Chains A and B, each alone.
Chain A
């Protein structure tokens, strides 16, 4: 984290009561929505640790759903998010579970669309409203949602990452950070690229065409 500025100390403007359990939860929901990147009609929400224990009093469930509905942490409709979800025909159910050795404020979303597309997204609220997405469909990631993000599932072969960065450079996208994680050497690897500029559809299409790329998705940053 960089040096704090005045608006970190007098701000953010948010709906209470807790920056980690409410504001951060809204951001987690919003991030799950961005990652799914399409219509969804059903969400199963699993709360872990402090989210499970004190979530009710902090409106964590309301906040998570508000985020799924694309609200921001300062939206005064957060406390009515369950009704609003209902009006929109979004089916929700909540569960509590031990998600293992994760941050105490962690949630797992399982989003489903009518045409059967499903995605599992796990993230944590790490304090002061900041969040990090930790897992997408069983792959460990580290996505704080501050940047335009490219998530790539690819075969772990020499040169793949270089091909991708070349395509990004050609599309005038400046890379801020990059992390590669892999399951087994030579098997599949997951690369997360954080960029200063939007990764547009054209660049994404070219990346998807690379023979070693299994899957690629671009995620917009949170505001």
Chain B
């Protein structure tokens, strides 16, 4: 079984970033050169950038009409200088909403790790990149780091709401974003692992309960709160805060929790928010 602890130990021994260890591993698995892998990842990065920009215009609407325009509202408030949470967090919120709105309105996104959770990672990435003026090469490496953590999660657990609930989708995205943020902010691989563990611990137990079965409510806003949580976890880890439970064990327990979740709370829209009176009304109106 894959282990993030192993990756951290390897990175420490070789004095590399986790993403660089992942690149070496993937060169073998995919039979591609480092340059090819980096090029492919940079294409994905470009799609992420475009999806962040496209949703901020506020002109997109989802097919149900429930989703659209929220990213623009948050962005406008920040631009008026009224942000409550400050520039960094406000930007991350708007960006996560933006990508999720693009997704809900049939725009182009990078599944990260899924379409429903595609807003968290680009939001955190672009925000931290901007803040630390990170070089493109390091941004790409950080994406490999986050994908490496995703591979560990997919191997030890899963990244599917139907199998593990939303903890497995937006929870995984949040952990992946936290580890990536730490690396881009200059933290150690070890600190990245702590950030991931802190983030995922905060998402444990989150159910998948999409209203009317659509990837809209609560998904879009959960991406924004997920991005915020990733930043909070990274902030703690960068300051030297440690997670008492190591990341691999948090992933394993997430998997166990997913198995204990009833089917009604795993993407079937038969429990949770999906069966509230308002959700039922929305469902009936739309169909």
Contacts and interface: CB of A to CB of B under 8 A. Distances in A.
Interface of A: 3-19, 22-23, 50, 53-54, 56-59, 62, 74, 76, 78-79, 127-128
Specify the main secondary structure of chain B where it touches its partner: helix
Contacts of A79: 105-106
A17 B103 contact: yes
Given A9-B112, A12-B111, A58-B63, 20 more contacts: A5-B30, A7-B40, A7-B44, A7-B147, A8-B113, A9-B113, A9-B147, A9-B176, A10-B113, A14-B108, A16-B104, A16-B115, A16-B215, A17-B105, A54-B213, A57-B286, A59-B63, A59-B106, A79-B105, A128-B160
B280 to A, nearest CB: 14
A58 B111 contact: no
Contacts of B150: 4, 6, 9-10
Interface of B: 22, 26, 29-30, 37, 40-41, 43-44, 47, 62-64, 102-116, 118, 121, 143-144, 146-148, 150-151, 154-155, 159-160, 162, 176, 212-216, 269, 286-287
What 3 pairs across the A-B complex have the smallest Cβ distances? A16-B103, A9-B150, A54-B213
A74 B110 CA distance: 9
A22 B37 CA distance: 26
B47 to A, nearest CB: 5
Contact of A56 (B103, B108, B146, B287): B287
30 contacts: A3-B151, A4-B151, A4-B154, A4-B155, A6-B148, A6-B150, A6-B151, A7-B44, A8-B151, A9-B150, A9-B159, A10-B41, A13-B111, A14-B108, A14-B111, A16-B103, A16-B107, A17-B214, A56-B286, A57-B62, A57-B63, A57-B212, A57-B214, A57-B216, A58-B214, A59-B106, A74-B108, A76-B108, A79-B105, A128-B160
Contacts of B110: 10-14
Given A4-B155, A14-B115, A19-B111, A57 B106 contact: no
Nearest to B114: A19
Nearest to B153: A9
A144 B118 CA distance: 25
Contact of B64 (A12, A57, A62): A57
A78 B160 contact: no
Given A8-B154, A19-B114, A13 B30 contact: no
Contacts of A22: 106, 115
A18 B154 contact: no
B40 A16 contact: no
B214 A15 contact: no
Contacts of A57: 62-64, 212-214, 216, 286
Given A58-B215, A59-B63, A127 B115 contact: no
Nearest to A80: B106
A18 B215 contact: yes
A13 B159 contact: no
B115 A19 contact: yes
Nearest to A9: B150
A13 B109 contact: yes
B162 A15 contact: no
A7 B62 CA distance: 27
Nearest to B287: A56
Contacts of A12: 110-111
A124 to B, nearest CB: 14
Contact of A54 (B47, B112, B146, B212): B212
Contacts of A5: 26, 29-30, 151
